[in-house]
Structure formats: structure tokens, C-alpha cells
Structure 1
Amino acid sequence: MWKSGLKWMFLIIGTMIGAGYASGRELWQFFGYESGLAILLFSILFFVCCYVVMSISYQQKSEHYIPVLEKLMGKKLTGLYDGMIILYLFSTTVIMIAGGGATLEVLHVPYWYGVFIISSLIVLLFIWGLNGMTSINAMIIPLLILFLVGTLLVFQWTNGFNMASAWNKQGNWPSAFTFTALNILPLVAVIGAIGKKINHKGELWIASLGSAGLLGTVSFLYNQSLIAVAQEVMLYEIPLFAILKNYPYFMVLVMTGLLWAAIYTTAASGILGLCTRFQPVLKMPFWLLSLFFLILMIPLTTFGFSKLISILYPLYGLMNLYILASIMLYPIVNRFDQNAA
């Protein structure tokens, strides 16, 4: 139970920690100043969402997200949100691929070489399907969290651990809802594909509590570190490098590698959601489906990493508030329905 629960926890965190989150761009877009309460609220909302979606997936023994959507939204709205999920997974995977190219530029690898490398490795991963995904996440995500938290703690130590200021004013608390809503659709898509593989209800608690606790802690620490370099964040395509600017070049290399790996796992999660959705219709192997989607996506990466995030992420956050409300209300409505029956 523990082993499987941790496997799903790393899959969830791997879906979340991608180009936008690990680079700091997404956190800075939604949080920043006066956001201590917002990040705490996000952790609570994220736990509830993960648990509810995993519960439905487990009950339905689903292999893709449509059965989960039908339980949450009803059959009439499922078609609309199915289209939204497809568009979301497609566009955010474009962002991940663009982020993969931008990250390797720090190592003087040309942008298009970086895009080709990440795309090739995604196709290669899907030769092993979902097992390949969970294995990669179980290797990469613990390392990423360890190095990221270590880097942020050292940075805070050199700056005097000024954490108390995070709780002075809390005017930004509503961003917890849009930030959580932003990340709902990939969670529904990825968790909806694992229902048939969950064997015990305890796995739901381990994965939900573990991912919410870890993400909440890292988000708070990361956000406080970005506030300390707020004047320089806008000068960097990837804000993490504003924090790393005074570190030894070796640390920059290590974090660049891990950041790129996190982008890779999130891009793969997006492709997984698309493949599990279309495989029953197109009857193609996962690796061939992933190649097809990537050929469509690569030309769109020319829009630029930060520009794509700044336009698309807030828009999706607002659009997804309805599905967030449906997930939060599902346990209450479902209990009433059971009592009425």
C-alpha cells in the first residue's frame, strides 16, 4: 500500500512540477507578496481535489478521464470539459516543450536541439506506457524536491530566514482558488488513467496528503525566496536563475538538469492524458500516438515560454473554477444523494 501510494504521489507531483512551477514563473504569476494564507489554502484545496478525483477513479476503475468527468460534471457538460481538457493538455504540453528548449539554452544548447531532445525522449518513454511514467517520476521527483528545497534553504539562510513577513498582510488569498483550478484538468486527466491500477483505499490518503503537504511546503519556501529577489525576477526567462545567480556554476548545472527533468515528466503527463483519451478511438500504440501529437505541437513552441504562460495560465485558472467547485461539492452532494436513496 505504501509503495503504491508513494508511486501515485510522485505521479501527481510530477504532473504539477513542470516548466511553470519548477522555474518559479507560475508561482510568481499567481502568488508573490501577501500570499502566505493563499498558499495554505492551496494546500488544503489540492488535498481535497486529489482525494475526490482519486476516489472516483478508484470506484470507476477508470483507464481514462471520461468516467471521472461524467461523475463530476454530468453527461451534458462532459463533452464541453472533454474538449477543454484536450485543449489544455495540448497547449500546456507545448509550454513544457518550449520550457525544455529554453532551459537547455543556459547550457548553450540551441533551442531547437533542446526541443528535439525532449520530444524524442517522450516518444521513447511511451514504449513502456504508464509503467515507464511512474518509474521515471519515482526516480526524478524525489531528487528534484531534495535539491530544490536544499537550494532554497541555503538561500533563505544567507538572507536571514525572513519568513514572518509572509503573514503580515493576506490580500492575495483569492489566488489560491485560481491557482488550484489551473492545475485541476491535468490532475483529472492523469488520475483518471490510473483508477484500474489502484488496489487499496489507503493509497488515496498517502498520495493526496503527501502531494498536498510537499507542494504546499515547497511553494511557501519558493515564494518567499522569489520575493527576496523580486527586483530581478523580471530580468530572467526562468526566475529560479535569479535565486541561483550567486551560486557556484556547478549548482546552476545541477538545478538546470533537474528542472529540465521535471519539465520532461510534466510534458510526458500531458501526452499520457491525450494518449489514454484517444487510444480507444485511434487504436494506435502509445509511442506512435505521442509522436503524432508532438509533430503537431512543435511548431507552436515558437511563441516563447514566458509569453505562453502569462497568457494561458490565468485564463485556464478562471475557466476551471467551475470544475474546482464541482470537485469540492462532490462529497457533500454525493452524501445527500446516498441518504436520499
Structure 2
Amino acid sequence: MRNAAKVLQVAFTYIGTIVGAGFATGREILQFFTQYGKWGVVTILLATLLFIWLGTKMMLLAHDIGASSYEDLNRKLFGRRIGWWISLFTLVVLLGVNSVMLAGAGSVFMEHLGLSYQLGLWITLIGTYLLLGKGMNAILQLNSIVVPLMITLSIIIIGATVGTPGAQRFLSLETDSSPLQTWASPFIYGAFNLSMAQAVLVPIGSQIKERKVLVWGGILGGLGIGFMLMAGHFALSAHMPGIVQFEIPMGNIAVQLGTAVQLVYVLLIFLEIFSTFVADIYGVSLQIRMMWNIPERWLSLLILCFCYLTSQIGFSSLLSVLYPVFGLFSLLWAVMLVLYRNPSLTAKR
């Protein structure tokens, strides 16, 4: 029973790390899957297989090499020198993404709850600082609350969509996109999200002692991500093509389901941002502590202060330059993970 609880915690944390604000709003699902019409179902299944296979492999590799942070993993994949530079680049991107994520938390408070932008920032920062002091266990427990709520909302959205006139549209929608775009999409999506998730999945892999827990956690986590992708795709397809015009397409669907569902949806967007933010900051702090010997509490404060300041200034323009480069790196990183053969892993099968 104890191992079963650990498996669920690993699976929920994996899901919570991948399912960030972009996923929750529906923009990512629309961009990478729904716009490709009926092929969205097949490409989601492909992405699900990638999440099961590579997410599990990453955690097992981190477990077998005793990785302290994702730099250890990158050095194993690319060699000592190149791995260090790749880890540094990943660190810069993660700091930028977390700054934007923090700004997103403030926007949820301002735009959806009618409260102060700064209040949203400070609640997120204080909550994160308190949880970081409790380590990986707090992250596992947080996702054990947030992710079941997310899955429940997905089931509610599926149930509400089944009776609509466009419910079967996900099987018949046509697309103007090229076959190359369509079939590249799940690989780009999977690679990008897995390379971002290494800040969380590597520490999980090294801290969970039982390999079977990691294997089943990776399988259930990948299946959970696939289920939520499919639920979002199913609901969005029923409202195509008009849903494309909305900045938060899933929010528009939630509005149609009543005030209670809309309020729960807004709360979940914030909790998804918060849980991913906490997990990423934890992974970043582990990485920086490998480079510089800074006390844990002070380091957490420094990182959170940096995110707060950059959330005021804006990191969007920098990320618009870094994202395409990081996307190409993510594909290379995923290929290296696929090709890597760990003798100890093979021997233990």
C-alpha cells in the first residue's frame, strides 16, 4: 500500500509538471493537436507513448546514476563539457519561464478574480518559499491534491461535451496543415515538455529508492497526461473553428458550464501555475547549489526575488528569442535520451 501511494504521488507530480498554465488554458492543445483535425487523436496517442517511455527512462537513469540535479543527467547524455553548457542554457530558460509563470499567477488574480496583481504574486511567492523548505515531499503532496482535481474537471468537461451537436467532430475535422507539421507536432511537444520537466523528474528519480515505483509512476503519469490531452482535444474539437479566436479557449468552454465550474476552473489554473512553479524553482535551486555553495534558504529567496523583479519588467521578449532555440535543443536532447543505453538499466530488466 505504501508503494501504491508513492506510485500515485510520482504519477501526479509528473502530470502536474507537464500540465502547466498553457495546457490548462487550452492553447497548447489547440496549437499542437486540435488544429490538425481528426489526426489529433493519433498524434495525442504518439505523444502519450513518448511521455510514458522517455519520462520513465529519465527517472530510471537519474536513479541509476544518483543524479543530484539535471546537470548530472545532461553530462551523462552529452559529456562533461557540453552537458554543463546545456544545463546552463536550460537554467536560463527555466528562470525565464518561471518569471512569466509568476506573472501569469498575478494575472489570474487580476483578470479572473478582480483582485490585485501584486497580491497574486505575493501569495505565490510566500506559498512557494514555505513549501520549498519541506523539500520534494511537499511537492509530491501538493500535486496529490491538485492533479486529482484537474482530472475530475476533465471528466466533467467530457461529460458536458458528449451531449453537444459537435461531439463527434474530433473524428472528422479536416486540416489545411501539411503532413510534416501534423506528424512533427507530437514529437516537438513531447520533447519540449520533457526537457523542461527534467528539473523535477531528475530529483524524483534520484530520491525515490524503489525502481518499480518509478516505472509505474512513469506509466500512470504518461497515461494521465494523455487522458487530459484527449479530454481537452475532444472538448475543443466540438467548438471548432470558432474556439480558435479565444485567448483562453478552455475558459470559454468552462463559462458555458455555469458559474460554479468556471470558478473551479479559475482556481485550478492558479493551482496548476503554483504547483509547476514550486516544482521548477526546487529543481533550479538544486542546479544552482551544484554550481555555487549557497545556503538553501538564502538561495530560495534570491531565486524568488529574481522571478519577482523580472515578472515586473517582463521576460516575454527574451523568451521569444530563447524558445525556438530551446525547442531545437529539446529535440536533440530527446534523441540523445532515446539513444542512450545504460548498462545497469539493461541488466536490471
Does the 8 A contact of 1:95 with 1:308 survive in 2?
Answer: no
State the partner residue of 1:164. 171
Does the 8 A contact of 1:65 with 1:189 survive in 2?
Answer: yes
State the partner residue of 1:106. 112
State the partner residue of 2:249. 239
Aligned length: 337
State the partner residue of 1:82. 87
- Paired AA for residue 42 in structure 1: A
Cα shift at 1:28:
2.0
C-alpha distance after superposition, 1:224-244 (max 9, x if no partner): 322333445455432221211
Match of 1:222 among 229, 232, 236: 232
Does the 8 A contact of 2:161 with 2:238 survive in 1?
Answer: no
Q: Distance in 2 between matches of 1:130 and 1:217?
A: 25
Q: Distance in 2 between matches of 1:59 and 1:109?
A: 47
Residues 1:309 and 1:243: Cα distance change in structure 2 (over 3 Å): farther
Does the 8 A contact of 2:13 with 2:143 survive in 1?
Answer: yes
Cα shift at 1:213:
0.9
C-alpha distance after superposition, 1:230-266 (max 9, x if no partner): 4454554322212112121111111111121111000
Q: Which runs of 5 or more structure 1 residues have no equivalent in the other structure? A: none
Residues 1:61 and 1:182: Cα distance change in structure 2 (over 3 Å): same
State the partner residue of 1:324. 334
Match of 1:201 among 190, 194, 211: 211
- Does 2:128 match 1:122? yes
- Paired AA for residue 84 in structure 2: G
Q: Distance in 1 between matches of 2:244 and 2:326?
A: 22
Cα shift at 1:202:
1.0
Residues 14-23 or 220-229, more deviating = 220-229
Residues 1:237 and 1:300: Cα distance change in structure 2 (over 3 Å): farther
Q: RMSD value over aligned CA atoms?
A: 2.8
Q: Distance in 1 between matches of 2:297 and 2:25?
A: 28
Q: Which runs of 5 or more structure 2 residues have no equivalent in the other structure? A: none
Cα shift at 1:314:
5.1
Residues 211-220 or 193-202, more deviating = 193-202
Residues 166-175 or 210-219, more deviating = 166-175
Residue aligned with 1:33, SS? helix
- Does 2:152 match 1:152? no
Residues 1:166 and 1:230: Cα distance change in structure 2 (over 3 Å): closer
Residue aligned with 1:108, SS? coil
Residues 314-323 or 226-235, more deviating = 226-235
Cα shift at 1:185:
2.1
Does the 8 A contact of 1:42 with 1:177 survive in 2?
Answer: yes
Match of 2:5 among 3, 10, 13: 3
State the partner residue of 2:147. 141
Identical amino acids, percent of aligned pairs: 27
Q: Distance in 2 between matches of 1:241 and 1:289?
A: 36
Does the 8 A contact of 1:66 with 1:192 survive in 2?
Answer: no
Residues 285-294 or 229-238, more deviating = 229-238
Q: Distance in 2 between matches of 1:6 and 1:114?
A: 29
- Does 2:71 match 1:66? yes
Residues 1:156 and 1:88: Cα distance change in structure 2 (over 3 Å): farther
Does the 8 A contact of 2:157 with 2:231 survive in 1?
Answer: no
Residue aligned with 1:199, SS? coil
Q: Distance in 2 between matches of 1:287 and 1:152?
A: 43
Cα shift at 1:80:
2.0
Q: Distance in 2 between matches of 1:174 and 1:284?
A: 42
- Does 2:202 match 1:192? yes
Q: Distance in 1 between matches of 2:76 and 2:56?
A: 14
Cα shift at 1:143:
1.4
C-alpha distance after superposition, 1:181-222 (max 9, x if no partner): 111223222122133322222112211111111111210220
State the partner residue of 2:289. 279
- Paired AA for residue 248 in structure 1: G
Q: Distance in 1 between matches of 2:90 and 2:122?
A: 25
Q: Distance in 2 between matches of 1:78 and 1:138?
A: 32
Cα shift at 1:27:
1.9
State the partner residue of 1:33. 35
Residues 177-186 or 274-283, more deviating = 274-283
Residue aligned with 1:183, SS? helix
Does the 8 A contact of 1:126 with 1:286 survive in 2?
Answer: no
Cα shift at 1:53:
0.7
State the partner residue of 1:260. 270
Does the 8 A contact of 2:157 with 2:235 survive in 1?
Answer: no
Does the 8 A contact of 1:148 with 1:255 survive in 2?
Answer: no
